[in-house]
Structure 1
Amino acid sequence: MDQHAAVPVTLPRARPTTPFWQDPPDADVADLRSTPELPVSVDVVIVGSGITGASIAHHLQKSGSSSLLMVEARQTSSGATGRNGGHTKAASYRSFQDHVSALGVEAAVQIARLELAAIRGVHRLAAGGENVDDSKGIACDSNPCDTLDVVYDPAQWTAAQEAVAAMKVVMPAGDPAAEYTLYTREESLSLFPCSDDVDETTGEVTAICGVVRYPAGSVSAYKFTVGILKRCLAKGLNLQTNTPVLSIDKNDSGRWEVTTDRGTVSARHVVLATNGYTAHLVPSLQGVAVPLRGQITMHRPGSRMPDVAGEGTGLQTTYSFIYNGGYEYMISRPPGSTCAGDIVIGGGLKFADTTEEGGAGTGGLCEYGTTDDTTINDTVSAYLRGAPVRYFGRGSTASGGGHSWGDDHPDGRIRKEWTGIMGYTPDGYPLVGEMPSPIDGEDNSGLWLCCAFQGHGMAYSWPCGQALARMILAKELDDTAKQQEQDAALRKWFPDCFRVSEARLKLRFAGRLH
């Protein structure tokens, strides 16, 4: 792992694989340059135009900040936000016990509540709720619904039961962040479209152990972010796409010089909302914010899957399929959306490695350290292409809900396939806050990080952007007492473990923790 974590992080690559969400890209903002030339000076430069950058801009503008420049190396929201599967899912029980062990019960509960509030907040904003300032909302295929975690590994099924029980003990009755329902194997097969995992090549069967059901949903993260950015643009945000940042340096007057391939901008604050690419601009983060390539396939539904056109429903939940050493996540495109009924499946990291890399048991070692989203991993591709038949069954009768996969669509099973770059840290938590000073003798005041969301960006990016905006605004206050008051208010809902610290920057990366 040390070798992969040390691979120099690059800028986003040209000509990446094309995700479904960006085909075609938004005509209004994909290649937008708000002004023909870069401004000479601004208050805040936000590097990155994904959901994190949009959240930061949105929350800064709500507090009156208007001198904002956002720069993007490629097209608008063309990184992880425009590539992820759009699964608004917390799955807090899966990491709760780890958080308790590392941080204590109070912090673990705080994280669980933040995750649920974040995904609910995205759907609320999409519907035109608080803070959007538009009763029409954002057209982004928002689909709040339940999710099913179909567990195939006995050890993980035991862990799931123990975690849910632990959450219910330490959280008040009725707390929505502890709202989970467990189903036995027999109940799962009777109630839900799912199947024992049957390998079509070997005939090996891996039985379902049980199912965990809880609130979640799906959304086009790309359309959601574009919708937020359009509102920010109307309030004065200057967006400059296809403008990669080459370096950031502090001048003698204490301002940051942000150098791009089109010129240099001076700013009091620079925010890196660059996720897995962050170490390219801050070399001291090499091995601290580590890229990891993920992969997604989009499947036309099989002949026996719920027919959106005929039944008007499609699958009623999203899914995750959890097995020894890995998982896949799955959403079904909702009624009324483009390609309604299509099934988006991401994951398969366990099977990424070639035999030269050590086989599937290394957990996708070869995908760590890469920023190459211009290609796909053929081994992962083969695995994900076979996923729906394994998880729903091929037969004419199904064990759950009267549905199985059936025959492939006449136009072929796969509609689209693409990759994207995530960001991970040694301790499994995002990096949010101001870079410590001094690091290697450098004064980093005014340099802010909001990145490395552990592949959990739909639960972390929006609230982390909100917290980062509040940190910047608090630092601008002249009154120390008011700064402390704002910081105390933030700590009530935002976990301390997410904040950047010098100690966290010294940790050694060993792979994904959750």
Structure 2
Amino acid sequence: MGGVYECVKEAIVRPPGLPKANPTISSWQSPPDSVSNVRSAVLPKEVDIAIIGSGITGCSAARAIVSHKAGSAMRVAVLEARTAVSGATGRNGGHLISDTWGLFPELVDEFGLADAVDIARFSAENISTLRKVVSGLSDADQDTVEFRDVVATASLSDAQSWEGSKRAAEIFTEAMGPDFAIQIEVLADKDIAKACDFRFPLNDYSYANGVGFMKQHGAAALSAYRLVAAVWRQILDKHPKSIMLETETPVLSVEPETWQGKDGYRLTTPRGTIRASKVIHCTNGYTANLLPNLVGKLYPLRGTMSEQQLGPSFPQSGAEYSWTSTGLGSYDKKSDELLVNLWYAQQNPKSRNLFIGGEHQPIKEMLNGDDSKISSSARDHLSAITSKIFHNAGPTSVKNMWSGIMGFTADLFPFVGRLSKEMTGRDGNEEFIAAGFSGHGMDKCWLCGEAAALMALGEDVPAGFPKPFLISNRRIQDGTPEAAVKALVENIVCLANTSNDAAE
């Protein structure tokens, strides 16, 4: 392998480091929620379980523990390097969309139909569960979360992507049936529309171009930051003696330690040390900082998001639709720029502003854990993309732009479960993980966090939990940097030609 492959490999084998102390500020986080700086006056000395990370996965894990009979009397510390929900959860696009249908043929080929169906059901169950979580919030919090069921529309920009999507939708629909919560509607492409004198529907949904068009029913949109912040306030109000949220408390190291005849772990922070019998890692793209054996197997990818004001001709459709424009990616060796040709957008139902994100930037700037910066290339491309995707968007103006760190695994599936000594590189077998959602976590994170928490409490793997998501020594051994590079370049970027000659 050469060219783009070697550049990507060089980038993903660098340790991610700790989250930066001065990240860019997303529009979701302005103004910050009242929970953002919560922490104890003095760091607790000892707890039953330490959760590292306060995003949607860590929040779900904490909620599952204190809601469980075995965990209701436990003391749980949630250690967050920065303010609460300041990582990817507070920076993402706010989409609750299942990506399973598009992957379905490959899932069937690799794991068999039963596991593929489990993954699809798990995705739909996550979306359904988050609907229920939102319904349990106060009216005021529901208003700020802005959860709404939408039809997720998609424009395919090239024939290869369109044909692959049609095939995937057909196989998915046949397997899952007409009553499944996620339904994919395939609309006619341009050639069929022209031959049948049928008006191509792209413009009805504001798209400027594309060779094909699809709709996903059963999707939703929201502010993930506002949701998780509201749930944290609920948890802290209901369980003030059980849960301690410790913001601005980065974990510098995790070491096995025995005290008072008990095996556990010593977690070192700038505020002092804390002992925990068990540890749950929910730090996604930063995971390998505390688990160096996962470097190159779970790595950070910096995404870019924006809030843009639209021209007067763009309709107020944020309560009905979300948008995706996607197709084959590209690599420019001269500039080292990688185009992940996936642009995703939702419209705020109150302000009419468009929240749109996507990646077009040099490899070394994309594959790192620094969300205090935005590459100039990413800024330029994202600033200009809205008027290219939507025929009636202009004139547009960028109100805010920010970056966020996602966590990608070598096989693009989450790591969930108990960590072995081979994975941690240290003694002890009471560390757990729920991380590595590979850019598509909103339809997976909540129930993955719950599953990790239940396993930490001694429960079996939840019924129906996708087996391909369970972490194992085999997955770690197979997840070489070379495998990670191949998966990213060919399955996420989807280069039009991934031969060595083209990559060179």
Both proteins in one fold, TM over 0.5: yes
* Map of 1:356 onto structure 2: none
Quote the offset at 1:383 in angstroms: 1.5
Question: Contact 1:142 / 1:219 at 8 angstroms: preserved in 2?
Answer: yes
* Map of 1:84 onto structure 2: 92
C-alpha change, 1:238 and 1:106, in structure 2 (3 Å) is: same
C-alpha change, 1:152 and 1:315, in structure 2 (3 Å) is: farther
Amino acid at match of 2:353: D
Q: 2:186 is matched with which residue: 161, 173, 182?
A: 182
**Structure 1 residues 416-431: aligned runs within 5 Å:** 416-431=400-415
* Map of 2:388 onto structure 1: 390
* Map of 2:236 onto structure 1: 233
CA distance in 1, matches of 2:214, 2:157: 9
Question: Contact 2:308 / 2:354 at 8 angstroms: preserved in 1?
Answer: yes
Quote the offset at 1:210 in angstroms: 2.5
Question: Contact 1:127 / 1:137 at 8 angstroms: preserved in 2?
Answer: no
* Map of 1:322 onto structure 2: 326
C-alpha change, 1:146 and 1:115, in structure 2 (3 Å) is: same
Amino acid at match of 2:250: P
* Map of 1:401 onto structure 2: none
Amino acid at match of 2:354: I
Question: Contact 2:149 / 2:220 at 8 angstroms: preserved in 1?
Answer: yes
CA distance in 2, matches of 1:385, 1:223: 25
1:296 aligns with 2:302: no
Secondary structure, aligned partner of 1:144: strand
* Map of 1:468 onto structure 2: 452
C-alpha change, 1:225 and 1:259, in structure 2 (3 Å) is: same
Quote the offset at 1:176 in angstroms: 2.2
1:263 aligns with 2:266: no
CA distance in 2, matches of 1:159, 1:447: 40
Quote the offset at 1:498 in angstroms: 0.8
* Map of 2:130 onto structure 1: 122
The aligned length equals 449
Quote the offset at 1:282 in angstroms: 0.9
CA distance in 2, matches of 1:277, 1:428: 16
RMSD: 1.9
Q: 1:148 is matched with which residue: 144, 153, 177?
A: 153
Secondary structure, aligned partner of 1:493: coil
Question: Contact 1:180 / 1:214 at 8 angstroms: preserved in 2?
Answer: yes
The superposition leaves residues 458-482 of structure 1 with CA deviations (integer Å, 9 ceiling, x where unpaired) of 1111010111111112x2xxxxxxx
CA distance in 2, matches of 1:47, 1:416: 29
* Map of 2:337 onto structure 1: none
CA distance in 2, matches of 1:70, 1:190: 46
The superposition leaves residues 99-124 of structure 1 with CA deviations (integer Å, 9 ceiling, x where unpaired) of 11221111111111111221222122
Quote the offset at 1:193 in angstroms: 2.4
Amino acid at match of 2:280: V
Q: 1:193 is matched with which residue: 183, 205, 213?
A: 205
CA distance in 2, matches of 1:441, 1:223: 36
The superposition leaves residues 141-163 of structure 1 with CA deviations (integer Å, 9 ceiling, x where unpaired) of 11111110111111111111111
* Map of 2:224 onto structure 1: 221
* Map of 1:505 onto structure 2: 476
1:494 aligns with 2:465: yes
Structure with more of its chain in strand, by fraction: 2
CA distance in 2, matches of 1:190, 1:42: 55
C-alpha change, 1:45 and 1:150, in structure 2 (3 Å) is: same
1:8 aligns with 2:12: no
Q: 1:407 is matched with which residue: 395, 404, 412?
A: 395
* Map of 1:50 onto structure 2: 55
Amino acid at match of 1:228: V
* Map of 1:250 onto structure 2: 256
* Map of 2:213 onto structure 1: 210
* Map of 2:336 onto structure 1: none
C-alpha change, 1:9 and 1:284, in structure 2 (3 Å) is: same
* Map of 1:331 onto structure 2: 346
CA distance in 1, matches of 2:256, 2:17: 21
Quote the offset at 1:314 in angstroms: 4.9
Amino acid at match of 1:352: Q
C-alpha change, 1:379 and 1:255, in structure 2 (3 Å) is: same
Amino acid at match of 2:249: T
Question: Contact 1:251 / 1:257 at 8 angstroms: preserved in 2?
Answer: yes
Question: Contact 1:196 / 1:208 at 8 angstroms: preserved in 2?
Answer: no
* Map of 2:498 onto structure 1: none
Which TM-score applies when normalising by structure 2? 0.85
Quote the offset at 1:315 in angstroms: 6.4
Q: 1:451 is matched with which residue: 430, 435, 457?
A: 435
C-alpha change, 1:446 and 1:23, in structure 2 (3 Å) is: same
* Map of 1:274 onto structure 2: 283
Amino acid at match of 2:187: Y
C-alpha change, 1:316 and 1:262, in structure 2 (3 Å) is: same
* Map of 2:118 onto structure 1: 110
CA distance in 2, matches of 1:68, 1:173: 43
Question: Contact 2:81 / 2:247 at 8 angstroms: preserved in 1?
Answer: yes
* Map of 2:495 onto structure 1: none
Residue segments in structure 2 that go unaligned for 5+ positions in a row = 1-7, 194-198, 330-340, 493-504
Amino acid at match of 1:58: R
CA distance in 2, matches of 1:438, 1:282: 10
C-alpha change, 1:284 and 1:170, in structure 2 (3 Å) is: same
Quote the offset at 1:180 in angstroms: 1.1
Secondary structure, aligned partner of 1:93: helix
CA distance in 1, matches of 2:140, 2:222: 16
Question: Contact 1:5 / 1:368 at 8 angstroms: preserved in 2?
Answer: no
Quote the offset at 1:182 in angstroms: 0.9
Quote the offset at 1:227 in angstroms: 0.9
Quote the offset at 1:228 in angstroms: 1.0
CA distance in 1, matches of 2:423, 2:185: 47
* Map of 2:378 onto structure 1: 380
Question: Contact 1:143 / 1:334 at 8 angstroms: preserved in 2?
Answer: no
1:31 aligns with 2:40: no
Question: Contact 1:51 / 1:225 at 8 angstroms: preserved in 2?
Answer: yes
Question: Contact 2:206 / 2:314 at 8 angstroms: preserved in 1?
Answer: no
Secondary structure, aligned partner of 2:93: coil
Q: Relative to structure 2, which stretch is displaced further, 368-377 or 208-217?
A: 208-217
